Structures are given as C-alpha cells and as structure tokens.
Amino acid sequence: MTDEQQRPGDRTDDVDRGAPQPQGWSRSGGPSRAQSRRLDPTTFPASGAWRPGDPVGDRQHVKIGTLELEGGGQLPGVQVAYESWGTLNDRRDNAVLVLHALTGDSHVTGEAGPGHPTAGWWSEMVGPGAPIDTDRYYVVAPNVVGGCQGSTGPSSLAPDGAPWGSAFPIITVRDQVAAEIELSRSLGITSWALVVGASMGGLRALEWTLLGPEAGIEVESAAIIASAAQTPGDQIAWAHPQLTAIHADPRFRGGDYYDAADGDGPHVGLGIARSIAHTTYRSAIEFDERFGRIPQGGDDPMHGGRFAVQSYLDHHASKLARRFDANSYVVLTESMLTHDLGRDRGGVTTALQSIRSRVLVVGVDTDRLFLPAESERIAREVPRAEPVRLLRSAYGHDGFLIEFDQLGPIVGEFLAGVHKRR
C-alpha cells in the first residue's frame, strides 16, 4: 500500500531501456509476451525476511515480552529491532522517533552492506547536519512489529519453535505503537521531542500523540507526512487486489512457506501486489511524461513486447520480491486497513481535537494514495497543528522519499522551532 524504499537514484536507472533484463526475471519460451513475464525460480529465497543468524548490521534488539493485542489475544515473546544515531543528552529531552512505512525498516540512514540489502531510505533527512541533525538529536528508528527486518513478525519463531506463518495474529496500528512504547521505556525515554512518520509511519505517529501521553511518555511534537487519520475506502479498494494476488499464489501455501526451497516462495503474488501498489505511489503525470507509450527497448507491444512502463513495474516487483516477506506485506497492509484514529474515541474529529502535541502536517499535491484532503483534515482539527504544507511533485506519494529539497527545510524548521520553545 505504500512505497518505502524508493530513492532518487531509482528515477533514472530502474528501467531496462535496451539493457539486459532485470536480474531475477526471465521470459518463458515461445513468442515474447508481457503476460509471460515470471520470476526466475532459481534466484529468490522463499522469503526476504531477516532471520536469526543473518548479519546483524546496525540493528539492536530489545525484548519487550508479551504484547496484549487490541483485537484480543496476545503475541508472546515480542522483540523489537531498532537502529539509533546520536546521543541522548543528560536531560533526556533530545530524542526523535522516526517511523518507517510499509516496506521500509529501521535502516533510515547509512550504506547498504551486510545485514542491510539497501541503503538508508531517508539518508538525506537524518544525519550530521541534516534536517534531523544527529549531532543535536538522539534518533531512534524501530522496525515495526509485524515486519520482517528484525522485529517479531510472521517469519519469527513462534513458541513451538517454527515460524509463525499463517498463525501470526491480526495486529493493528495501536498494537505496533504499544510495542514502540515498550521500546521507549527500555531505552529510558520518557519524552520525544519529535515523532515523525510518513505514509504507514504517519499512521503510527498520529497514534503516538494519543497513546504516548496515556502511557506516560510525552510527545512534544509530531510530523505527519503523506498520511491520514483514517483509512478511506479508496485505499481499502486498492489493497484488495494486492492481498488477493498474494493469497492466490499457490506458493503462498496459506502463509506457511518458510521451509520452501529458493525460488519456491510466493514471489509472483508478492510481485503483482507490488506492481499494483507502485501504481498508487507515483502519479499519472510522471507515468505519462516519463514513459507515455514508449516500447521497452527493442520490444514491440504489437508482437507481445512490453511498454517501458510495464518494464518499470516489473523492475520494482522484482526488487521487492527479493528483499521482503509476503506474510509481512499482508499483515502490515491489513493493519493499515483497520487504521481509524477515532475508533473507541468518539470519532475521528473528537480524537484529532484531543491531541495536545504541536503537529506539522505535510502532504504531496499529486498523491493519489493519501490524498491532500486527508492531510488538510488533520491540520484543520488538531488544535496545535500548523497550516498544512504541500510538496509540489510530479512523483505522487513517493514525493516524501524524493523531494528532499522541499521536505528537508520544512521538517528542519519545525524541529528547530520545537527546540527554541523550550
């Protein structure tokens, strides 16, 4: 439902214009046809999840015990993976929490390497001298519970010693935040100067403004970027074929595929889901101006070849199928579908009006996943929200991962204002 690892470099080198096919893809025999594109069954692990024994990289882990779930039941033995940068000061009032979106993880900034298949997804925003300055702030980024990069999720071992798989329970955004609250306590943090999240991370950042104070952890300010207070029907509709594609893949095996051989996992279903989702991450303006009706390389669509935009979607499907986990994609997408800040709080308006944190709201003018109207709703109802800021971008929802020349100053100035008001 949301793209979380797109970086500026992907804008120019992610289409195989006349180049060899993207690694991990092949065509079946016979006439070349776009419909025959399939994942090479020899190159992909059954799951791209991080597993114990894999390189740890920059991850740290905290065990928080049993998590009581909003929908009933428990998730035992929960572990939260996180990364951190900077130093917590003596007053413990310079902590910033960064929350990733659907297919992101805790590797916000830093190079790719052992344990981290991709470089940091927000390196332009977090680091020494960056808008979220790690020379000044102690920055923490957890991997969400239900994810697949070190925190407890479907690929983790259940109490019986086997991966959770299909037995992993339904979790909500509030459950995820409850786990992050326990992480905060483990780190000795009783106040966040800023909780910032975009897309799915923005859902959690909003919940933090209410659940944090209830748990005794102050949220001085929050930045909600390209997100919403309640998942609208349009998003639920877009998610439906994504989830159906994964469930329909015979190699999904109902969610129990972790012992499958390389190439025998649900890569096709996950890739299709990613292709559908990526269509919502970018804009019609970009697709038309960047690709239009251009054929891919020497392909002829009149004779079974692909258009360039199809190659582009294939490329991103391949990338995600190699590095992510199908079960986590399902679990996290379903957590987004149930997101409703107003549930059991008297409705969305009442919930938003009860937020006491200072709030920055940023939308993207061409976003067709989280419409700008959703950002405007938050800014209108939260008492201490600043007027909504809109990124002007041809890249749609992914603008929050690309338009750093606009987003950086907005977030940096907001955070500096928080610091000055102390």
Residues 6+ apart with CB under 8 A from 416: none
Residues 329, 384, single domain; the answer is: no
Based on the fold, state whether residues 239 and 359 are members of the same structural domain. Answer: no
Average pLDDT for residues 271-297, to the nearest whole number?
A: 96
The yes-or-no verdict on residue 294 having pLDDT over 70 is: yes
Which tens digits make up the pLDDT trace of 77-92? 999 999 999 999 999 9
Structure tokens that stand for 236 in this block: 């639920």
Q: How many domains does the chain have?
A: 2
pTM of the model: 0.91
* Residue 172 and residue 294 in one domain: no
Residues 100 and 201 in one domain: yes
pLDDT tops 50 at residue 174: yes
What angle is formed at CA 407 by the lines to CA 85 and CA 402, rounded to 5 degrees? Answer: 90
Position 420 confidence tier, pLDDT thresholds 50, 70, 90: low
Give me the pLDDT at residue 419, please: 66
Tens of pLDDT, residue by residue over 34-58, are: 443 545 646 899 999 999 999 999 9
DSSP labels, 143-186: PPTTSSSSSS-TTSBPTTSSB-GGGPPP--HHHHHHHHHHHHHH
Bin 253: left if φ > 0, else alpha if -120 < ψ < 50, else beta: left
Of residues 295 and 14, the one with the higher pLDDT is 295
Both 238 and 210 in a single domain? no
Shared domain for 145 and 215, answered yes or no, is yes
**Residue 31 CA: distances (Å) to CA of 1, 303, 312:** 33, 8, 21
Same domain, 185 and 64: yes
Decide if 288 is inside a domain: yes
81 in a domain, yes or no? yes
**Lookup: tokens for 203:** 């859902």
Residue 107 within any structural domain of the chain: yes
Residues 72, 184: one domain?
Answer: yes
In angstroms, rounded to a whole number, what is the distance separating the alpha carbons of residues 101 and 107? 12
- Measured from the Cβ of residue 23, the count of other Cβ atoms closer than 10 Å reads 12
Are residues 263 and 173 both part of a single domain? no
Q: Would you say residue 25 lies in a domain?
A: no
Q: Quick one: 330 and 355 in the same domain?
A: no
Last residue of a domain, one of 303, 335, 367: 335
**Tokens 């300010």, residue?**
221
Residue 5, in any domain of the structure: no
DSSP β-bridge partners for residue 197: 99, 224
Report the CATH number at residue 293.
1.10.1740.110
20 lies in some domain:
no
Give the C-alpha separation, 206 to 199, whole Å: 11
Catalytic residue positions, numbered: 199, 367, 397
Domain that holds residue 394: 60-232+347-420
- Binding annotation for substrate: 274, 398
Residue 78 belongs to domain with CATH number: 3.40.50.1820
Binding site feature residues: 274, 398
Residues 227 and 242 in one domain: no
pLDDT of residue 298: 85
Q: Are residues 220 and 78 in the same domain?
A: yes
